[in-house]
A and B are shown apart, each in its own frame.
Chain A
Amino acid sequence: MIEIESLYKNYGTFAAVRGLSFAVRPGEVLGLVGPNGAGKTSTLRCLAGIIPASGGMVRIAGHDVVADPVAAKRSLAFFPDEPRLFEYLTVRQHLNFVARLYGVADHEALAQPLLEELEIAEKADELPGALSRGMKQKLAIACGLLHSPKVMFFDEPLTGLDPLGIRRMKDSILKRARDGAAIVLSSHLLHLLQEVCSHVLILKKGEKIADGTLAEVAARFSNGETGVGLEEIFIRATGGSA
């Protein structure tokens, strides 16, 4: 579903991502972890077609992001760390707008259960200015989920959510994965990634340090110890520094 080969991203002479390759199959949730400045956000933005890659190949649901960006984007949803909303559109109007962009027929029937699932149905006629940070995050998620994407990219999806919101978000991600979506999410909250992700990829200075299932990566850095958590794995893998 998501195939990346030798991905490079440079900002002038600075290489943010260096030769990254990995794949995410339907039903898998890949956790992208790494210290600050490791290239996580740049990687996610290249995968979502927001910024052009400097080299390599990215295929989303069989479509090359460079050669056929419109088809690739039709299959994906990107959730930024900060909800980006149009301040003059209400919650319902946001969904109406997104429905037209993705050509979602009968969007009202789809939107209502989504709003209820995310617990913002009561705020359907409110502008973003009247919503809390968490509510805005939920609206951004509702907009992303409306067209039932096969591929999802979450950049720090739990920022600003209360404990119940975090629980619901984790359940929502797992539900979409069970329904066959391929998901990549980046977060610094390692214990939460441990609960949600089937696979993990550790980045450092734009390069892949390790990837595989949680068990595989744990085995590589556990030095024979048992029950080593993702946090300990992360510190050992990155050498405790960026």
Chain B
Amino acid sequence: MLSALLYLQLTSLKNVVLTRLRRLRQPKYFFGAIVGAAYFWFFFFRPIGVGARAAQFGQAAGGLPATDFAEMAAALGALAMLAYATLAWVLPTEKPGLPFSEAEAAFLFPAPLSRRKLIHFKLLSSQSRILFTSLFFTLLTKRFGSLGGSAVTHAMGWWVILSVLSLHAAGAVLTLTRLMEGGVSVRRRRGAVLGLLALAVGVTVAWVWQDLRAPTDADMAGFNPLRSYVLTVLNGGAIDWLLWPCKLVLGPFLAKDMAGFLSALGPALLILGAHYFWVMRMNVAFEEASLGVAEKRGATIAAWRAGKRLPRRTPGKGRRPPFALAGPGRAELALLWKNLLAAPGWLNPRLFVVVAGLIVAGCLILEGQPEWRAMLRLVGIGAGVAGAYILLLGPQLARQDLRGDLPNIDILKTYPLAGWQVVLGGLLAPTAILSGLLWLALLAGGLAVHLRGGPAAGALGTQLTAWVCLVLIAPPLVALQLLVPNAATVLFPGWFQSGAARGGGIDVMGQRLIFMFGQLFVLLLAMLPAGLAALVLILAFKWLIGTAAAVVLAAVAVLVILVGELWCGVWLIGVRFEKIDLSAELRA
């Protein structure tokens, strides 16, 4: 019977590979594959071919001798494995099921297969994923030359780690199902698991307190003393006992050479075998719970393929609308209203006010304490980084626009709206959300600069002028950024769809990279005339009307140019939206 299951796995794998190879005949996948392969080579394969450079990279990354690096990796890796195992026991709130797909559940559950065979199928099917992930992680970790070992020991090490984690998750699922069938409540189970963990942490803290020592200023003075102290804590007391099996599993991966690998492999395989024995001994009726998991998984995949958000856990009542929407009025505001309802509920004006209040209060507190005042510099840097992230990555995340509405494009096109109205209406919600976030970053940055003071900060008037100018320019800049993915949605719906709906693969990864670089290019192109105009105006007028006034003049010019570009973009995308024939695009 297992041969049938093996046939299913191998045939599915073969078909996936063939499908992905065949789709390379389409230019969008072909070019995506070239870019994806280039990215892969540059980031993963190149360092392997240059051993000395890889080792150098590892040294630079860790800044540690090889033995210290391995010791730290063992302790932190074991801690991560322990956290994973704990979550597997704590998180499930209802009967967890072994994760079968809807098709697997439909074909296999009614088939004349024993429960043990079903579990074997699950373990077997997880192996293809584990093998692929092991290879990927091997490429990733090979960049850290300090680890030692070879590609073979790393790949096999990763296989042992991932297999143990997979078996542990399966064992936890089956055990939890049995516990729940036995009447053990979620609260009792969580209490027991977390209690055990707390006991181990408590014993360790007590040991640190009595036998070791509390951290001193010297331990906190830098990375190396801090690392040294943390390792001492993690390698002693009750935590060490808890981490011990995890360290054994990590052993083959962290081995320096083949001899070390072989000696570490034995204990690791023993743990793997013990997990296998545990899973196979669990004779639990998991099918019902697995059907529930399969249905949820199916709904999630269907939503993802349709380009929608993941289905809500409990579909039911709606949210209070962001504002009252009367019948007559600008139709674009109806799209803003709808898309704000689509945004996460916590992203509301109250949150922005509270965060703004916290920023102001926090900065004032830092300014009032001489020993903490230096932290204002960090706040300023953090605000700058956050602002850049919001501006560059925000448009990829805030998708309450045409991208979110693409599955409903048929309905959008029946509305009595011109194309530009649909595009403008779509842009409003993400622009409002991202502008709000950007303003918070500007508030933090502006306050940090002002309160920190110093000659570089300039006079209050200059600071205020620059700040107001940035606040005014932020929304059109955000909208302009959003225009790029929205333009891509209507100009290349096939590409956009393929990114959202046709699974992964190196070609799809390449497509996303092309879009990311395209967005950066368009941003630079759009900013070029505005930047040049600002430069010319400041240089020409600062002698006549002063720097502050020249900056204001330049900001107004930038604002006019950005709004003009935005309007042209909205108009052009609107025209394209009116002509778009999605059925024809997706047939191509």
Contacts and interface: CB of A to CB of B under 8 A. Distances in A.
Nearest to A91: B318
Max chain A Cβ within 10 angstroms of own Cβ: one of B317, B321, B407, B581: B581
B411 interface: yes
B418 interface: yes
Interface stretch (B99-107, B330-338, B391-399, B521-529): B330-338
Interface stretch (A126-134, A188-196, A202-210, A211-219): A126-134
B118 to A, nearest CB: 31
Interface in A83-97: 84, 86-90, 93, 96-97
Nearest to B415: A101
A129 B415 contact: no
A74 to B, nearest CB: 4
Interface in B504-527: none
A126 B308 CA distance: 19
Given A100-B327, A126-B316, A11 B415 contact: no
Interface string B311-325: 110011111010001
Contact of B325 (A45, A73, A97): A97
A80 interface: yes
Given A97-B338, A130-B316, A78 B414 contact: yes
Contacts of A70: 416-418
B27 interface: no
A173 interface: no
Contacts of B407: 84
A70 B414 CA distance: 9
B235 to A, nearest CB: 50
Contacts of A126: 316-318
B19 interface: no
A97 B334 contact: yes
A105 B588 contact: no
Contacts of A31: none
Contacts of B327: 99-100, 103-107
Interface string B328-350: 11010110011001100000000
Interface residues of B, number: 40
Contacts of B325: 96-97, 99-100
B586 to A, nearest CB: 10
A106 B407 CA distance: 30
Nearest to B299: A129
B583 interface: yes
Contact of A101 (B319, B342, B416): B416
A12 B338 contact: no
Contacts of A130: 315-316
Interface stretch (A18-26, A46-54, A113-121): A46-54
A51 B584 contact: yes
Contacts of B316: 126-127, 129-130
Given A52-B579, A73-B416, A12 B334 contact: no
B332 to A, nearest CB: 10
Nearest to A75: B416
Interface in A54-79: 69-71, 73-74, 76-78
A127 B407 CA distance: 18
B416 A127 contact: no
Given A74-B416, A100-B337, A86 B315 contact: no
A125 interface: yes
Nearest to A10: B584
A93 B341 contact: yes
A51 B318 contact: no
Interface SS of chain A: mixed
B181 interface: no
A143 to B, nearest CB: 9
Contacts of A96: 321, 325
A138 B584 CA distance: 29
B579 to A, nearest CB: 6
Max chain A Cβ within 10 angstroms of own Cβ: one of B318, B410, B582: B318
Interface string A156-183: 0000000000000000000000000000
A52 B581 contact: yes
A96 B316 CA distance: 18
Contacts of A80: 410-411
B329 A100 contact: yes
Nearest to A128: B315
A86 to B, nearest CB: 6
A71 B341 contact: no
A93 to B, nearest CB: 6
Contacts of B578: 69
Contacts of A106: 327
Given A45-B410, A100-B337, A105-B328, A73 B318 contact: no
B417 A101 contact: yes
B311 A50 contact: no
B224 interface: no
B338 A49 contact: no
B78 to A, nearest CB: 42
B317 A100 contact: no
Contacts of A101: 331, 334, 415-417
List the 7 closest A-B pairs by CB distance, nearest first.
Answer: A129-B315, A90-B318, A100-B334, A74-B416, A73-B416, A99-B327, A50-B413
Interface of B: 308-309, 311-312, 315-319, 321, 325-329, 331, 333-334, 337-338, 341-342, 407-408, 410-411, 413-418, 578-579, 581-584, 587-588
30 contacts: A11-B584, A12-B588, A49-B414, A51-B413, A52-B579, A70-B416, A70-B417, A73-B414, A73-B416, A74-B416, A78-B411, A78-B414, A84-B407, A84-B410, A87-B312, A88-B341, A93-B318, A96-B321, A97-B334, A99-B325, A100-B334, A101-B415, A101-B417, A103-B327, A103-B331, A105-B327, A107-B327, A127-B315, A129-B315, A130-B316
